[in-house]
Amino acid sequence: MNRQLVFSSRVGDRWTFAIEFEGVWNPRKVWNEWYGYIWLWVDGEVVGMPSEFEMVTLGLDSLIWAVQKIETGSVKLLGALPLDAAVDLVIWARFGDEGPPPTPFEGDRSLLSLHEVLPGLGAFFDDWQAILIKDGSEERFIYRREGAQASETRWPAGTFKRVVLQAQHEFRKLATEWSG
């Protein structure tokens, strides 16, 4: 299928953290039903499924959901763990069965799941896992493709929230403009 690009935007810096999206098709001409692509850029690398064609709001809503959860709490234990162990523990808390945690943990597992960023909702970030840990004046974004080694990047506290909210605003503005 030949998909014609209607609008495109990037918020943030690809070499730090950015969200890029394209709107290419909207059958009903409603601002939140634009189909297209979304890319999450972390340290110059695309995190997610770059060829996934879906309603862009699903990807943005997933990131908004992460922003809202992360605002509510923090588990200091995660910052002390090796990268893969921290991701494993959060994914266990969110999706795991009632078996023992992959890393010793005593406490409320729902507090761990507050750190989940990916996979989130929708198909844009399938096969990816990411967590965000607040660490003083910085945020630690720890991410991996399922089955791979985790990587970490750090940026000033508030970067994730600022970029996600700005991308949501920019998408809504462009989608509304082109839906009329």
Residue 144 in contact with residue 151, Cβ under 8 Å?
Answer: yes
Burial group, residue 153, by CB count within 10 angstroms (0-12, 13-18, 19+)? middle
DSSP code of residue 150: P
In tens digits, the chain (180 residues) has pLDDT values of 567 899 999 999 999 999 999 999 877 778 889 999 999 999 999 999 999 999 999 999 999 999 998 765 567 788 889 999 999 999 998 888 777 888 888 878 888 888 999 988 778 999 999 999 988 899 999 999 999 999 999 999 999 999 999 999 999 999 999 987
Secondary structure (3-state) at 144: strand
Element (H, E) at 115: none
How far, in Å, CA of 145 to CA of 125, rounded? 9
User: Is residue 90 within 8 Å of 69, Cβ to Cβ?
Assistant: no
